[in-house]
Amino acid sequence: MLERESAKDPLQTAVHRRLTELTRSVENAGDERAIELARGEIPALAEALRAVLAGHGSDARGRCPRCRRGFFRRRVTPCRAYLAAQLALGEPVPATTPRRRHRRAAV
């Protein structure tokens, strides 16, 4: 049986490795080097996040076209990608009004 790390997609492994390298570089860098890294890498990371989120968002009915739930059901925004990004960025999640589910009449 393959180990979990080797069973991953090589692209996924490479992305996680790069993120780990960036984190360690900033943690171990002096002030000037950390500033250089921030100036060079923060715009690239922000653009990467924008690219990931590009296919997400709400349609005319307030549903994310990418975050499907079940065969005919779709999640109501905020979609999972935007919610994860907002939580990771340390921003408070705006309150949403719960939608009421309509029950079908008994026949």
- What kind and span of H or E run contains 76? strand 74-76
Confidence at 2, pLDDT banded by 50, 70, 90:
very low
CB-count exposure of residue 101 (10 Å: 0-12, 13-18, 19+) = exposed
Question: What's the pLDDT at 18?
Answer: 93
CB-count exposure of residue 14 (10 Å: 0-12, 13-18, 19+) = exposed
Question: What's the pLDDT at 47?
Answer: 95
Confidence at 99, pLDDT banded by 50, 70, 90:
low
- Domain boundary assignment for the chain: 8-54, 57-91
**Per-residue pLDDT tens over the stretch 44-91:** 999 999 999 998 887 777 778 787 666 666 555 568 888 888 888 887
